Amino acid sequence: MLPAAVIDQIKADLPEWHWQGVGQGASIMEVSHRGKAFEALINDAEQDLRDLLAIPANYSVLFMQGGAWGQFACVPMNLLRADEYAGYVVSGGWSKSASEEAAKFGEVAVLGLSEEDRYHWAPKLSTDIIEKYNKSHSRPDKLGETLWSYFYVCSNETVYGNELHTLPRDLPAPLVVDASSHFLSRAMDVSSCGLIYAGAQKNVGPAGVTIVIVRDDLLDRAPKAIPAVWHYAHMAKHKSLFNTPPVFSIYATALTLKWIKAQGGLDEMERRAVARSSMLYDAIDASKLFKAPVVKADRSRMNVVFDSPNEEIDKAFVTFCEARGLMSLKGHRVRGGMRASLYNAMPIEGVEALVAAMREFETIQSKL
Amino acid sequence: MLPAAVIDQIKADLPEWHWQGVGQGASIMEVSHRGKAFEALINDAEQDLRDLLAIPANYSVLFMQGGAWGQFACVPMNLLRADEYAGYVVSGGWSKSASEEAAKFGEVAVLGLSEEDRYHWAPKLSTDIIEKYNKSHSRPDKLGETLWSYFYVCSNETVYGNELHTLPRDLPAPLVVDASSHFLSRAMDVSSCGLIYAGAQKNVGPAGVTIVIVRDDLLDRAPKAIPAVWHYAHMAKHKSLFNTPPVFSIYATALTLKWIKAQGGLDEMERRAVARSSMLYDAIDASKLFKAPVVKADRSRMNVVFDSPNEEIDKAFVTFCEARGLMSLKGHRVRGGMRASLYNAMPIEGVEALVAAMREFETIQSKL
């Protein structure tokens, strides 16, 4: 979902893109990515992102291609050294896939896993857990050296609906965060992370661009030759314009960043996210029919997962909602149940309508 | 440049995308890539591409991310075996970069190079050249076996303006063709190639999607673990919907494919490309001021490169044209001179205006 104002602007910019009031003689899909206007746009987008997240000066902002699955490979190819470990916290399907993809390129240690509990909580990474792993895996030739290239968390798991509301700190190696599905829904302490990445398509723009925020000392760590388009140092050196970038997706992202700023920035995005998700979780917790399985401290503000007593009622409820114009409530195919995704562009009225539908459905069910 | 009809359709599909007359409740940037409508659209695009290029059934069509630079790495990662060579023909800057990128992942042999002549002709690959290389590099342990994983050509070099009008045939290993910059400007004999790829942004759609046509026996040859998003077999198995694809770029590409079909297909695209480029080359050859340096047999129909006697006159001509609304005539920064790019969507009137400007400029110059 994109803000209506962004869609309107995209429409107004066809057939001719206007940059700061000046017509560019062609649409955004046709202008050169080496032209002055697009260069100004991508610089502007980077600055807006820096303003919104208070990104420190020693971090680079990259606009890449390949989505989160691309970064699942790109991160270990750039950062995972021979004879070291990458420490993964597996809190859902995405971090599980990320850890499996990383294992193609080096040694992976799983430092937290809640799969047995259907990922209904998010494991927390701590120096204690790491210390314990160090002791049980110490190698005489590495004594006194860190075993770790980086640690990895997915800070919002869309399928199971858990979210890390606090990032781990003071780790003995850089923290890598897949923030794809709650990026820009609240402030983040960038300085506590080595690298944060996010596919644009949840809160920031249309699919096709991946934002990577990376501390400069991590740019050029690739232990061997890797593809140029996936080499952080190479992309940073060329300010993401080394090869043809996904121009349209970056343009739409730039418009969305302006929209977020105009709405009041990340504090306002967080206020809205809390308002939307609290309203829905409160309604679920008050219901006798529906249950939210994720522990309260780890509940996602973006993806509210809930269940009825059985699959049949799940299905009936999804159909009941669709008839009221409330779409996309079916849970992910690997999990089932229901899921309401409440990204930045979702107005509170959408949640109010869903809560009303839940109550109505429950009343009908109770009379059956 | 995209056809005006495609831009109009994109505009009409905002704020709500209609697929076959049915409103989808959201824009193309917001619908799920797992929804029925987008699945139908991508299948349709594949079928249109198969129809246009007469792609045989034993070839897969993939919609990937990363552009040509992505494929520079993706091709050797998937196809270059240990103890074998990849044979590259270097006919310009793109194939040179491709050969250098491939050398990161295995052994590369350059089988043709016209750099000394500023790439003013395109080297031809033949079994004789390959045989000669085989003899001078034969290894006792490999006698009787092919040394080659694949051969590689860039069939249109945009910067230096040369084009391979005939692809090499009957090679002892699969031929890989980077057809990015003249893709769908004419028919191609897909069956003589192992793999053809093209970044969309020249003739097919906006930047952000890369089309890969690959013979099925080459899908699963990766000699070791490679990124899932870059593994041809993996992408083919999931019909390009393994991870979130660049939805908007694929949609715009699908519209452009329909446009090409409606115009009369690749025969008509070729007729127009011949008409446009002949008109311009004829004017250059008839001129006393301008010269086209590429040998006639290898001249590109897409990128017409030409020079005046010196840089100063080049610059004056580019400025003269800009004042007449004729943009983007400056040659690529690594080459200089002039370049007119005449992609599918360029109307013949654009060439007529350029030819008129050339004549007028030449007359003024001759009086100085």
pLDDT at B146 over 80: no
Report pLDDT digits (tens) over A180-191: 999 999 999 999
* Region class of B312: left (phi > 0), else alpha (psi between -120 and 50), else beta: alpha
Of B242, B177, B165, nearest to B213 (Cα)? B177
Distance CA B183, CA B289 (A): 32
B138 pLDDT tier (thresholds 50, 70, 90): low
By C-alpha distance, which of A63, A51, A68 is closest to A239?
A: A63
Start-end of H helices in chain A: 4-12, 36-53, 67-79, 93-102, 127-136, 232-237, 247-263, 265-286, 311-322, 348-366
Residue B132: pLDDT band with limits 50, 70, 90:
confident
Assign A350 to helix, strand or coil.
Answer: helix
Mean pLDDT over B96-124 rounds to 96
Q: What is the pLDDT of residue B15?
A: 97
Per-residue model confidence (pLDDT) at position A139: 61
Q: For position A147, what pLDDT does the model report?
A: 85
Average pLDDT over residues A274-279: 98
Query: Confidence class of residue A303 from pLDDT cuts 50, 70 and 90?
Result: very high
Position A272: which residue type?
Answer: R
Tell me what the mean pLDDT of segment A112-135 comes to. Answer: 93
DSSP strand pairing (B175-178 vs B148-154):
parallel
**CA B81 to chain centroid:** 25
**What percent of chain B stands above pLDDT 90?**
88
Judged by DSSP in three states, B47 sits in helix
Helix (H) or strand (E) holding B197: strand B195-199
> In this complex, is the C-beta atom of A9 within 8 Å of any C-beta atom belonging to chain B?
no
Residue A150 and residue A176 in contact, taking contact as beta carbons nearer than 8 Å? yes
**Catalytic residue from among A202, A230, A298, A314:** A202
Do the Cβ atoms of B68 and B92 come closer than 8 Å?
Answer: no
Mean pLDDT of B283-299: 98
| pLDDT given for residue A169 in this prediction | 92
Average pLDDT over chain A reads 95
Give mean pLDDT, residues B280-305. 98
Query: Residue range B74-101: average pLDDT?
Result: 96
Question: How confident is the model over B232-255, as a mean pLDDT?
Answer: 95
Kindly state the tokens that stand for B280: 């311009």
Q: What integer pLDDT is reported at residue A137 of this predicted model? A: 76
Give yes or no for B241 touching A (CB within 8 A).
no
Instruction: Report the share of chain A in percent with pLDDT over 90.
Output: 88
- Decide: A198 and A179 in contact? Cβ < 8 Å: yes
Which tokens belong to B310?
A: 């010196």
The closest alpha carbon to B155, from B200, B123, B114, B120, belongs to B123
Query: Is residue A144 scored above 70 in pLDDT?
Result: no
Inter-chain CB proximity A206 and B2 less than 8 Å: no
Q: Tell me the two tokens of residue B135.
A: 């003899």
Are β-strands B162-163 and B156-157 bridged in parallel, bridged antiparallel, or unpaired?
Answer: antiparallel
Would the pLDDT of A261 be above 70? yes
| Residue A178 contacts B, CB cutoff 8 Å | no
B202 belongs to the catalytic site: yes
Please confirm, yes or no, whether A202 is among the known catalytic residues: yes
What pLDDT was estimated at residue A203?
87
Q: What is the pLDDT of residue A155?
A: 98
Does the bond joining B309 to the residue before it have cis omega, within 30 degrees of 0?
A: no
B307 is catalytic: no
Q: Torsions phi, psi of A60, nearest 5?
A: -95, 150
Question: Residue B172 and residue B174: Cα distance in Å, rounded?
Answer: 7
Helix (H, G, I), strand (E, B) or coil at A265: helix
Other beta carbons less than 10 A from residue B297's beta carbon: 12
Other beta carbons less than 10 A from residue A36's beta carbon: 11
Are B231 and B222 in contact by the 8 Å Cβ rule? The answer is yes
Report pLDDT for B122: 97
Distance of CA A175 to the CA centre of its chain: 15
- What separation, in Å, do the N-terminal and C-terminal C-alpha atoms of chain A show? 36
Question: Is the Cβ–Cβ distance between B287 and B362 less than 8 Å?
Answer: yes
Q: What is the pLDDT of residue A145?
A: 64
Stretch B224-249: mean pLDDT? 95
- Using a pLDDT cut of 70, give the percent of chain B over it: 98
Question: How many other C-beta atoms lie within 10 A of the C-beta of residue B55?
Answer: 19
**pLDDT at A29 exceeding the cut of 60:** yes
Q: Give me the residue label for tokens 């590429």.
A: B294
- Res B140 pLDDT > 80: no
Q: pLDDT at position B58, please?
A: 98
Q: Which residues make Cβ contacts (< 8 Å) with residue B28, sequence separation at least 6?
A: B13, B17, B247, B248, B251
Q: Which residues of A86-105 are buried (b: 16+ CB within 10 A; e: fewer)?
A: bbbbbbbbbbbbbbebbbbb
Indicate which of A209, A243, A326 best probes the interface with B, i.e. most B CBs within 10 Å of its own CB: A243
The model's pLDDT over A194-244, given as tens digits with 9 standing for 90+, comes to 999 999 888 898 999 999 999 999 999 998 899 999 999 999 999 999 999
Best of B248, B324, B333 to substitute, by most chain A Cβ atoms within 10 angstroms, is B248
Closest Cα in chain A, distance from residue B70 (Å): 6
Record: contact A248-B244, CB cut-off 8 A? no
Beta bridge partners of A30: none
- In this structure, the number of other CB atoms found within 10 A of the CB of residue B44 comes to 15
Higher local confidence (pLDDT), A5 or A131: A5
Q: Name the residue among A192, A196, A258 with its Cα closest to residue A6.
A: A258
- Answer whether residue A132 shows pLDDT above 90: no
pLDDT category at A351 given cuts 50, 70, 90 is: very high
Which of B15, B205, B228 is the closest to A73 by Cβ?
Answer: B228
ipTM above 0.90, yes or no: yes
What letter represents residue B117's amino acid? D
Pick the closest to residue A75 from A93, A98, A95 (CA basis). Answer: A98
Helices B247-263 + B4-12 axis angle, to 10 = 130
Closest in A30, A205, A243 to B67, CB measured: A243
Residue A83 — very low, low, confident or very high, per pLDDT cuts 50/70/90?
A: confident
- What pLDDT sits at residue B328? 87
What domains are there in chain A, each with its CATH number?
A: 4-263 (3.40.640.10), 265-366 (3.90.1150.10)
Taking only the tens place, the pLDDT of each residue in A326-348 is: 988 999 989 999 999 999 999 99
At A260 the pLDDT is: 97
Answer yes or no: is pLDDT of A254 > 60. Answer: yes
Cα separation, A99 vs A108, in Å, equals: 7
Mean pLDDT computed over A159-181? 96
Compare all CA atoms of chain A with the CA of B65 and give the residue at the minimum distance: A66
Cβ atoms within 10 Å, residue A336: 14
Query: pLDDT tens, B320-339?
Result: 999 999 988 999 989 999 99
pLDDT exceeds cutoff 60 at B266: yes
| Cβ neighbours of B265 (radius 10 Å) | 15
- Average pLDDT of chain B, as a whole number: 95
CA distance between the termini of chain B: 36
- Whether the predicted pLDDT of B202 surpasses 90: no
